[in-house]
């Protein structure tokens, strides 16, 4: 039975004393799971409004983010303190065999196994290599890289029957071509 002034939590159904500063607007108790439900419900309500649906999308907001980042350089790249989270990479000595000095090629790891890294690693690599931070730019670059990779794997990236990643023109000693 509820005491005077208590409310029933919309999430867990328990009675609680609302914060006196919030009063009748408080609909959830202060338990952690109920606060999370409250926040999720609030976000859904905010995003369902027509004026908020595209708040984080579109060219206007890309320009807004670029202007803010230009006004606050280095904000997201604060100095790190403490030791690195990874161990140092151990270098291996190259062993030359035979009189020609050419070492044997180890059993090749399939390219698909090398690319089985998690999505955050690939996103970080693309952001680092291409100096990108906006999702729209990263998505366009990723689509371009996926298309290039698909062309290379399917053999559509070069000449007829080409099996090497080196273009046939470069292999014959012709002038190199800058690809854009």
- Report domain extents, the chain: 7-52, 56-65+115-159
Look at residues 136, 138, 133 and name the one whose alpha carbon lies nearest to residue 77.
133
What's the whole-model pTM score? 0.36
The DSSP H or E segment spanning 8 is: strand 7-8
Let me know: does 28 contact 34? Beta carbons within 8 Å.
yes
pLDDT of residue 162: 47
Name all contacts of 38-44 with Cβ < 8 Å and 24+ positions apart: 38/11
Tell me the per-residue pLDDT of 35-81, one tens digit each, with 9 for 90 and over: 999 999 999 999 999 988 877 788 888 888 889 989 988 887 765 55
Tell me the per-residue pLDDT of 154-177, one tens digit each, with 9 for 90 and over: 876 554 444 544 454 444 555 666
Tell me the per-residue pLDDT of 74-133, one tens digit each, with 9 for 90 and over: 887 765 555 555 656 666 665 655 565 555 544 554 545 545 556 677 778 888 888 887
| Residues pairing with 15 in the sheet | 8
């Amino acid at each position: 039975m509820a005491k005077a002034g208590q409310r029933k939590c919309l999430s867990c159904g328990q009675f609680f004393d609302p914060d006196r500063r919030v009063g009748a607007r408080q609909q959830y108790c202060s338990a952690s799971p109920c606060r999370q439900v409250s926040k999720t419900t609030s976000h859904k309500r905010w995003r369902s409004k027509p004026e908020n649906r595209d708040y984080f999308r579109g060219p206007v907001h890309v320009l807004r983010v670029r202007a803010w980042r230009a006004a606050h350089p280095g904000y997201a790249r604060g100095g790190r303190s403490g030791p690195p989270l990874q161990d140092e990479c151990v270098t291996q000595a190259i062993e030359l065999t035979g009189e020609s000095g050419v070492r044997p090629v180890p059993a090749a790891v399939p390219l698909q196994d090398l690319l089985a890294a998690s999505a955050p690693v690939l996103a970080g690599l693309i952001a680092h290599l291409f100096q990108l931070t906006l999702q729209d730019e990263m998505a366009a670059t990723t689509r371009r890289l996926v298309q290039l990779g698909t062309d290379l794997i399917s053999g559509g990236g070069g000449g007829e029957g080409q099996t090497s990643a080196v273009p046939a023109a470069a292999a014959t000693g012709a002038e190199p071509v800058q690809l854009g």
